[in-house]
Amino acid sequence: MNAPSVLVVGAGPTGLITALTLAVNGVRCRIIDRRALYATSSRALGCQPRSMEVLAALGVVDGLLRRSEPLGVSVIMRGTTELAEVTWIPPDAPFPYTYVFRQPVLEEILRQKLAELGIEVEWSTEFVDLDDQRAAALSDGRRVAARWIVGCDGARSRVREAAGIAFEGGSTGEVHYLADLSFRPNHEISSPTIWLAPDGPLMLMPLPGGPSEWRIFVDVTKERDLLQEPTRKSLQALLDRRALGPGRVAIDALHWASTYRTSLRLARDYRNGTVFLAGDAAHVFPPYGGQGMNTGIQDAFNLGWKLAHVIQGKSSSALLDTYQAERRPVAVDTIRQVDQRRRLFAIRNPLGRRLRDLALQIFMRSTRAKRAGSYATSELGISYHGRSWLCVDDGPSARPRAGDRAPDGPLGNRRLFEVLHPTRFTLLVFADGDVASAIARELPPDVAVVNVNRATEPGQALTKRYNAGRGALVLVRPDGHIGFRGGSGSHLALTSFLRKIYG
């Protein structure tokens, strides 16, 4: 086989999205995984609205929508008392919910799409070392030379180790049981529910595929010295003791179970020379809030188009420095938020618990708090503003700013998201008359130019959404974030921004 430009190590969601983003951009890669075949255990349970947009841009969202269910309300309980109902307030976005599905469903859809593009995962192919930074040594003695290596090989990443990148942080000391089980539909529980008990939290989450399929996640730290692998009996005992009371939820079957030792870790660097890390290889944290897989998906989407631009000779390798600059702070913020939630749920002291429960009862009544919580979970607010040279504002500040996600909106009889594409920059010219064609002549041919004015968008909703009534130039990057924002007179600043990318 010819030397690939990119070797992707690991065919979990992060590796598959990396390979797909490259393939959509016209770059072939090899993707290897040490497993004999794909994993079937359910692990992550869904995608946040921003990740759904990424999947839509890559052309794989329809299949997923057919096999997922949107999440609406969740409940916080203390025994049989409801402390708070956490209602999801849908943000104004094309995919306004958390969509629940099992991780293997997404992986299957991604593999199918890759196969359509001529890329198959090479199973039973284990990365063991880097011999110089341009070649990977495999466990069967073969070498794969590649210009770039992307380590998407999970929390115990061998690529990270071989590249000499420290994985900072450590264990929180907590141990959880995690399992998928069936119980008879119960009118007392129909939504995701968390019980806050003195021994730590217990969560039940409905799975797609019928009202009797559930995920349980339960803190068993107190019992850690006696711990054995979870069984139907031990999980039943935990449910009886920590949820609604004995016999209220009777487990019919246990499908899959695992013990999860919680840690919070972050790679000191996301890159060493020609080696990159993405997904769990770069960060791990417990699944409070369902952000783990989502962070990996968005790492991969951020890195994929940049690698493709450099490989295709459109940009210098300086573009690749923006990957760590933009994505590592996202993981820092996520780890901080997940840890706050973990500490809140783990409070053991009785007075502290009473105060927490009271605060939750008051706080969760507020619509503003619910809206803010939904928006934070949606990941639509993730911004790279101020984090790299790939986000530039010129002129008076207006929102959305450079680095923010570019919001969708109507554009004539289409939507803006139908016009954006993960292979190219798109310049939105908010101006009356056809100035766009004049501007287009000054830009690299790769940049698509779209006029937004009363003729192309009579309702002006997109103009309002972009606060662009006085005219604006908004350059959307291939990953759907704004790269440049300026006023109608910002042509020079725009061309100098693009020159930095296109050389």
Ligand X SMILES: Cc1cc2nc3c(=O)[nH]c(=O)nc-3n(C[C@H](O)[C@H](O)[C@H](O)COP(=O)(O)OP(=O)(O)OC[C@H]3O[C@@H](n4cnc5c(N)ncnc54)[C@H](O)[C@@H]3O)c2cc1C
Q: Give the residues lining the site for ligand X (CB under 6 A).
A: 9-15, 32-35, 43-45, 103, 126-127, 152-154, 158, 178, 258, 260, 279-280, 287, 290-293, 296
501 close to 447: Cβ distance less than 8 angstroms? no
Cβ 178 to ligand X shortest distance, Å = 5
- DSSP strand E in 19-105: where? 29-32, 46-47, 69-70, 73-78, 81-87, 99-100
Nearer to ligand X, 157 or 453 (CB): 157
320 close to 271: Cβ distance less than 8 angstroms? yes
Nearer to ligand X, 158 or 401 (CB): 158
422 close to 61: Cβ distance less than 8 angstroms? no
Nearer to ligand X, 34 or 465 (CB): 34
Cβ 280 to ligand X shortest distance, Å = 4
465 close to 409: Cβ distance less than 8 angstroms? yes
Cβ 32 to ligand X shortest distance, Å = 5
Nearer to ligand X, 289 or 407 (CB): 289
Cβ 470 to ligand X shortest distance, Å = 41
Calpha distance 412→432 (Å, rounded):
15
- Residue by residue, DSSP assigns 105-165 as HHHHHHHHHHHHTT---B-S--EEEESSTTEEEETTS-EEE-SEEEE---TT-HHHHHTT-
Nearer to ligand X, 13 or 201 (CB): 13
Nearer to ligand X, 201 or 279 (CB): 279
Nearer to ligand X, 136 or 420 (CB): 136
198 close to 157: Cβ distance less than 8 angstroms? no
Cβ 47 to ligand X shortest distance, Å = 9
Calpha distance 366→96 (Å, rounded):
20
Cβ 136 to ligand X shortest distance, Å = 9
Nearer to ligand X, 54 or 476 (CB): 54
Nearer to ligand X, 106 or 347 (CB): 106
Cβ 31 to ligand X shortest distance, Å = 9
List % helix, strand, coil for the chain (3-state, nearest 5): 35, 25, 40
Supply the angle between the helices 49-57 and 292-311 in degrees, to the nearest 10.
Answer: 30
Nearer to ligand X, 35 or 248 (CB): 35
Q: Which structure tokens are listed for 28?
A: 């072939």
Cβ 319 to ligand X shortest distance, Å = 23
- Residue with the two structure tokens 């450590």: 170
Cβ 89 to ligand X shortest distance, Å = 21
Cβ 400 to ligand X shortest distance, Å = 26
What are the distances in angstroms from CA 54 to CA 11, 111, 328, 340? 18, 16, 18, 27
Show the DSSP H helices in 346-452 as ranges: 350-363, 367-378, 416-419, 435-441
Least Cα distance to 64 among 37, 120, 23, 102 occurs for: 102
